[in-house]
């Protein structure tokens, strides 16, 4: 038991060094129960190989699923079309000559594992998607294998596209590549272009190919298009960089909403006391967030609540304790960790949520800008907004431990935001958006 614990710790340590982290304790259990043993050494080796694949435009493969040995592989179709599958999956140790002659790499399916046929080294994991449990297992595997093959058990009762998007978004920062089984031609484009990123491989069986004559043709066409895009991106030198949030000095102003906005406002009560200069990042967009300070500032009218962040309506995002993931306020739960920022020390720390308090309260619309005037007098740069309760206890963080109360912002009715009275505040800015709280490099616009 001791040596196993040491190995798991070593893997987790390397994960931390190379940004491949386990999502939860359940992922460690799944990894331990299903992939411990011979996979351990291979994971360690794979970690070092996969670093350069993050946030790049990637090529897409086509796999042939030959696990049903009663069916013949579509050799004639491959010859006639001039195309072939990049990888073939078999079950037994004996590989038919037609498979070897294809020149494709061959995986052997062994339970929940994919192994290289020659050396039996583990190349990936197989997860069967029947309900939300399958999605959770897939998310838990990310970062511990090079390939993850997701099989939809029942297309009649199981979802495919939403789980695919969720897994793609989560996998982008792990190095794990995704293969999805596909049953019909109509599903190819959705999987190949999901979140503008797509899966890394489409897996097709003989039966599905026979049931839909256009399936192979559509898959090969999609592979050609994806690989052409990847080659063009590589030749032009374009490459997405790993997202790094920035904390900048921006500005804010209150927009006149022509009436009272009543919202389901949430107070986030933390398990630790915060200082007056500490708060959480909140916004209507994950790309630009304001620092809402704690209610630790003293007042003659109301006792302090140093553990409380009056974070605004249910639709707003709040930054979680990992410093990159977000959640809607309405989804936040006790024990979730949120990121707390100190404007005096310029430091951050995760703090757990102890309680959430939801009430109907009047709110104001605060415009957020990192914009500046260009040479033509136009405002340029990222912008966003946040709704906050109209109360003196709600404060926005400024540089050097200063703050401004939401009630100190005068409502302004200027439509385009030119020539308004702006106040300086701290903003957290990200160049890319999120999907289900996970950052990904697809195009996201939030207004």
Domain-terminating residue out of 236, 257, 288: 236
Do residues 297 and 193 both lie within one domain? no
Q: For residue 20, tell me if it sits in a domain.
A: yes
Asked whether residue 447 is domain-assigned, the answer is no
Report yes or no on 444 lying in a domain.
Answer: no
Clarify whether residues 150 and 264 are in a common domain. Answer: no
Q: What is the pLDDT of residue 292?
A: 98
pLDDT of res. 434: 57
The predicted structure's pLDDT at residue 18: 34
Please provide the distance, in angstroms rounded to a whole number, between the alpha carbons at the two ends of the chain.
53
The pLDDT score that the predictor gives to residue 94 is 67
**146, part of any domain:** yes
**pLDDT at residue 47, rounded to an integer:** 43
Q: Which of 215, 236, 257 is the last residue of a domain?
A: 236
Same domain, 101 and 155: yes
| CA atoms of 189 and 194, how far apart (whole Å) | 8
**In-domain check, residue 90:** yes
CA distance 105 to 86: 6
Q: Are residues 153 and 173 in the same domain?
A: yes
For residue 352 the two structure tokens come to 């757990």
Structural domain total, the chain = 2
The verdict on 94 and 218 lying in the same domain is: yes
- Residue 225's domain comprises 2-236
Among the candidates 194, 211, 236, a domain finishes at 236
The rounded distance, in Å, linking the Cα atoms of 435 and 443 is 11
Q: Which residues pair with 357 in a beta bridge?
A: 267
DSSP category for residue 311: E
Separation between Cα atoms, residue 37 and residue 83, nearest integer Å:
37
Tens of pLDDT, residue by residue over 162-171, are 888 888 888 8
* 95 and 140 housed in the same domain: yes
Tell whether 212 and 260 lie within a shared domain.
no
pLDDT of residue 247: 93
In a domain, 440, yes or no: no
2-17 and 25-35 helices, crossing angle to 10°: 120
Cβ atoms of 327 and 269 within 8 Å: the answer is no
Query: Is residue 218 located within the same domain as residue 261?
Result: no
Are 160 and 229 within one domain? yes
| Mean pLDDT of the residues in the chain | 80
Is 380 in the same domain as 353?
yes
Residue 194 CA to residue 203 CA, distance in Å, equals 16
C-alpha distances out from residue 220 to 74, 161, 206, 326, 378, Å: 14, 20, 15, 37, 47
Contact partners, residue 298, CB within 8 Å, separation at least 6: 304
Residue 130 has a pLDDT of: 85
The reply to whether 100 and 220 lie within a common domain is yes
Note whether residue 264 is domain-resident.
Answer: yes
pLDDT tens for residues 9-23?
444 443 444 333 333
Q: Is residue 443 part of a domain?
A: no
CATH of the domain at 179: 3.20.20
User: In 148-268, where does DSSP find H-type helix?
Assistant: 161-171, 188-193, 206-211, 215-236
Adjacent-strand bridge partners of 265: 313, 359
Q: Which 3 state secondary structure label does DSSP give 199?
A: coil
The pLDDT of residue 153 is 78
Parallel, antiparallel, or unpaired: how do β-strands 246-255 and 411-412 relate? parallel
Residues 210 and 146 in one domain: yes
pLDDT < 50: residue spans in the chain: 1-55, 239-240, 437
């Amino acid at each position: 038991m001791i040596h196993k614990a040491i190995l798991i710790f070593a893997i987790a340590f390397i994960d931390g060094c190379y940004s491949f982290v386990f999502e939860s304790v359940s992922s460690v259990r799944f990894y331990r129960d299903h992939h411990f043993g011979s996979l351990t050494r291979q994971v360690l080796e794979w970690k070092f190989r996969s670093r350069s694949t993050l946030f790049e435009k990637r090529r897409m493969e086509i796999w042939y699923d030959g696990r049903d040995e009663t069916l013949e592989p579509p050799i004639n179709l491959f010859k006639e079309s001039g195309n072939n599958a990049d990888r073939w999956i078999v079950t037994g140790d004996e590989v038919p000559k037609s498979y070897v002659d294809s020149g494709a790499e061959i995986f052997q399916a062994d339970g929940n594992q994919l192994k290289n046929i020659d050396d039996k080294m583990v190349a990936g994991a197989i997860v069967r998607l029947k309900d939300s449990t399958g999605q959770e297992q897939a998310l838990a595997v990310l970062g511990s294998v090079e390939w993850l093959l997701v099989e939809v058990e029942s297309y009649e009762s199981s979802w495919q596209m939403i789980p695919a998007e969720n897994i793609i978004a989560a996998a982008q920062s792990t190095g794990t590549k995704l293969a999805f089984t596909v049953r019909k031609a109509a599903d190819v484009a959705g999987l190949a272009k999901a979140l503008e990123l797509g899966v890394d491989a489409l897996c097709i069986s003989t039966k599905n190919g026979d049931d839909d004559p256009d399936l192979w043709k559509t898959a090969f066409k999609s592979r050609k298009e994806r690989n052409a895009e990847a080659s063009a991106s590589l030749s032009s030198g374009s490459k997405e960089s790993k997202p790094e949030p920035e904390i900048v000095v921006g500005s804010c102003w209150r927009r006149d909403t022509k009436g009272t906005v009543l919202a389901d406002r949430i107070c986030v009560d933390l398990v630790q006391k915060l200082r007056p200069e500490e708060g959480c990042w909140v916004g209507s967009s994950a790309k630009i967030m304001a620092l809402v300070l704690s209610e630790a500032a003293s007042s003659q009218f109301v006792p302090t609540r140093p553990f409380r962040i009056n974070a605004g309506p249910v639709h707003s995002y709040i930054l979680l304790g990992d410093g990159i993931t977000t959640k809607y306020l309405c989804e936040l739960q006790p024990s979730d960790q949120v990121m707390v920022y100190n404007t005096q020390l310029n430091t951050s720390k995760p703090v757990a949520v102890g309680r959430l308090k939801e009430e109907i309260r009047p709110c104001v619309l605060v415009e957020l800008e990192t914009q500046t005037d260009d040479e033509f007098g136009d405002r340029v740069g990222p912008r966003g907004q946040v709704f906050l309760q109209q109360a003196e206890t709600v404060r926005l963080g400024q540089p050097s431990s200063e703050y401004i109360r939401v009630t100190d912002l005068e409502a302004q009715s200027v439509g385009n935001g030119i020539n308004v009275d702006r106040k300086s505040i701290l903003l957290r800015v990200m160049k890319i958006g999120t999907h289900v709280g996970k950052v990904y490099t697809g195009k996201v616009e939030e207004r």
